[in-house]
Structure 1
Amino acid sequence: MFAMLSNAPGGPDSLEWTELPTPEPKKGEVRLAVKAAGVNFPDTLIIQDLYQLKPPRPFAPGGEVAGVVEAVGEGVTQFSVGDRVIAMPGFGGFVSHICVPAAVCLPIPPQMPFDEASAFIFTYGTSHYALKNRGLLKAGDNLLILGAAGGVGAAAIELGKAAGANVIAAVSSAEKAEFCTSLGADKTIVYPRTLDRDAQKALSAEIKACAGPKGVQVAYDAVGGDYAEPVIRAMGWGGRFLVVGFPAGIPKIPLNLTLLKSCEIVGVFWGASIRMEPDSHRENMADLFQMYAKGQVRPRISARFPMNEAAKALQLIADRKVQGKVVLTLD
């Protein structure tokens, strides 16, 4: 087998395409021949030791894969050799073969190709949990999405429209705004790459203009940094500000704003919720597969790379140049 290994902390170019012995599945595990792997922002952090999960080296990044069951370990009854499955290993997915617990695998719907399957669970799982379980989004709400052209942001647009919300997509370029409109966003905002106080006030005013008198009911922040405060200033009474990610840095929020708006700042840790709330996770996955079958959601894959070119994919993510998802593939 082959793997893109992180042997020392570093950027995308630090990964090395390495030949290794093919692993054998242990009790309760299956071995997958990986066909595609989704690339996500945490993959850029974990190789730098900047993520909350710090695996012992050497390791391969990659938290979601799609492939074919090649072997099953003792006690595995829910999967057989030849089954098409999605797996969420957390890390280790940028490989040609991987052994994972059968419990972290899901059958791939017959109509879903491998590349879309590998780009499905992380982004849609995160955004569905955020909007449904943490944001309590309902029809008619104003939903503001920061970083709306990225993987989780694009998923949030589709899920917001499926829920009947009015979606305001905030992005960093006109090209990304067009992409968000193609996904169904009702309105778009293009914010500058950096914000001073005047630019923050201008951004908040633009959000308020888009949201109208009732303001924003649910804000989905996948950017952080100086962009968070202007959004909170545009929140409606009793709104929910969802903390999803911090590629622009961890924001510092004046808490008096939450008092004035009677609004909530709500953390979204989807990975932990899978372990803490497994029944809810299964229900959410059933929701998502049903929406996929209806055509309400579908991963937008903007770039595909061979697995041994993972560094190029990770650099696109790190540079915030991705629209939708990036996927690594293996023949």
Structure 2
Amino acid sequence: MRAVVVDELTGPQAAAPTEIPEPDGAHPRADGDRLLVDVRAAGLSFIDPLQTWGKYQNGVPTPYVCGSEFAGVVLEAAEGSRFVAGDRVGGIVWHGAVAERALALPEYTVKLPDSMSFAEGAALYMNYSTAWYAYHRANVQPGEYVLVQGAAGGVGTAALDLADVFGVQAIAVVSSNEKAEAARRSGAHAVVRADAQWLDAVRELTDGRGVHVVLDPVGGDRFIDSLRSLRQGGRLVVIGFTGGQIPTVKVNRLLHRNLTVTGITMDNMEVEYPGTLQMVREAVEQLAAEGRVRPLVGARFPLERTADALRMLDERSAIGKVVVEVVPASD
């Protein structure tokens, strides 16, 4: 079968279409439960270009098949599984998705409604489970203001799309006119520019009091101003560090303004609190089934141009989800 394989850790250009054997057994993290999927589209995330450079903290040795997320049709499922052959599904695999067939993990796989394209399905689970869980951890309440950093990226656009689900007023932070338009299309109630005095603009939008919650997948040098944007008793959720730097904070900032900073890593939380993954998975699957979410696919590439897709993410020029169409949509 065809797959895109990374043979050396020299960056996106190392990703090349290759003929490899059909997958056997089960995904290494699936406890022996075989779930084989005929892949139609693969979603890429920040994990993928990092891994081509050998910089992802949970990376795998070469050679490996790239692609962290998939959408397709079930070919084989373990007896007693909630999946059967023919189900339309999408989910996270961390690597192995840019291939004609892939082994999936039942715990990280959701059923897709017929109304959702495979490209959208490849943009669903990773971003929406992350954004949904961030809202959950922040204990957001209807009517609250939520500031979304990196609002035109995959997680950011998902967070904006979920704003109405949670009944909050979403303020998007973006860095260009194109990203501002994507944020509005994804559901932002207001947009501020990272290349201007965005903190002043946020305070003006909130009558000088600040936002209740910040969702931050960026980190870096914006982090302190994200804390400053919070009102008394505000909460900040650390989602990631796409800005490239892990920030530090003097905790007196938290003390004097009664602030809460929390992180999210669902699989680690599952160890201490079993049922976390099921809760998030069921929430995302139900929202998709009800037609209440619509993932933003910002760019689509054929399998042969996977290296270009990875390069777009590596250069931080992506908007929404970058998807590789393993099977062209017209097919």
Matched with 1:106 is: 110
2:122 to 118, 122, 145: 118
Q: Deviation string for 1:121-152 (max 9, x for gaps)? A: 000000000111x1111111110011101110
TM-superposed deviation, 1:54: 1.9
- d(CA) in 1 for partners of 2:208 and 2:17? 55
> Are 1:2 and 1:96, in contact at CA under 8 Å, matched by a contact in 2?
yes
2:162 to 159, 169, 174: 159
1:308/1:278 Cα in 2 relative to 1: closer, same or farther (>3 Å)? Answer: farther
Which stretch shows the higher mean deviation, 4-13 or 116-125? Answer: 4-13
How many residue pairs get matched?
Answer: 321
Helix, strand or coil: the match of 2:275?
Answer: helix
Query: For 1:179-190, what aligned pairs fall within 5 Å after superposition?
Result: 179-190=182-193
2:295 paired with 1:299? yes
Match of 1:126, SS state, is helix
For residue 68 of structure 1, give the secondary structure of its aligned residue in structure 2.
strand
Moved more, 219-228 or 92-101: 92-101
Q: TM-score, normalised to structure 2's length?
A: 0.90
Residue of structure 1 aligned with 2:325, choices 293, 305, 329: 329
Over 4 Å off, 4+ runs: 274-278
Residue 260 to residue 246, structure 1, CA distance change in 2 (3 Å): same
**Given the alignment of the two structures, is residue 270 of structure 1 paired with residue 276 of structure 2, yes or no?**
no
SS at match of 2:57: coil
Cα separation, 2, equivalents of 1:158 and 1:102: 25
8 A Cα contact 2:107 2:277, kept in partner = no
Give the C-alpha shift of residue 204 in structure 1. Answer: 2.7
Aligned partner (choices 207, 215, 221) of residue 212 of structure 1: 207
> What is the percent sequence identity of the aligned residues?
33
Contact (CA 8 Å) 1:28, 1:76: kept in 2 or not? no
Deviation (angstroms), 1:278: 4.8
Tell me by how many angstroms 1:298 deviates.
0.5
Cross-structure match for 2:141: 138
Which residue does the alignment assign to 2:178?
175
* 1:19 counterpart residue number: 19
- Whichever residue aligns with residue 194 of structure 2, its letter is Y
Query: Alpha-carbon deviation of 1:162?
Result: 1.9
Does the 8 Å CA contact 2:303/2:324 hold for their aligned counterparts? yes
In structure 2, distance between residues paired with 1:76 and 1:15: 37
Number of the residue aligned with 1:244: 239
Measure, in 2, the Cα distance between the counterparts of 1:278 and 1:325: 29
Farther off after superposition, 170-179 or 246-255: 246-255
- Aligned partner of 1:195 in structure 2 is none
- Gaps (5+ residues) in structure 2? 27-31
**RMSD in angstroms over aligned alpha carbons?**
2.0
Q: Does 1:37 align with 2:42?
A: yes
Give distance in 1, aligned partners of 2:179 and 2:250: 30
For the 8 Å contact 2:42–2:70, the answer to whether it is kept is: yes
Q: Answer yes or no: is the 8 Å Cα contact 2:192–2:201 preserved in 1.
A: yes
Deviation at 1:168, TM superposition (A): 0.8
Aligned to 1:225: 220
1:178 to 1:112, Cα distance in 2 relative to 1, 3 A: closer
8 Å Cα contact 1:25/1:31 also seen in 2: no
The C-alpha deviation readout for 1:34-91, integer Å capped at 9, x for no partner, is: 1111111111212222222121221122221111222345x45433333322232222
Q: 2:276 aligns with which of 270, 273, 280?
A: 280
The aligned amino acid for 2:104 is V
Aligned to 1:2: 2
> Is contact 1:203-1:230 (8 Å) kept?
no
Counterpart-to-counterpart distance in 2, 1:275 and 1:300:
31
Tell me: CA distance 1:61–1:76, structure 2 relative to 1, closer, same or farther (3 Å).
Answer: farther
CA distance, structure 1, for counterparts of residue 69 and residue 270 of structure 2: 14
Contact kept? 2:160, 2:188, Cα under 8 Å? yes
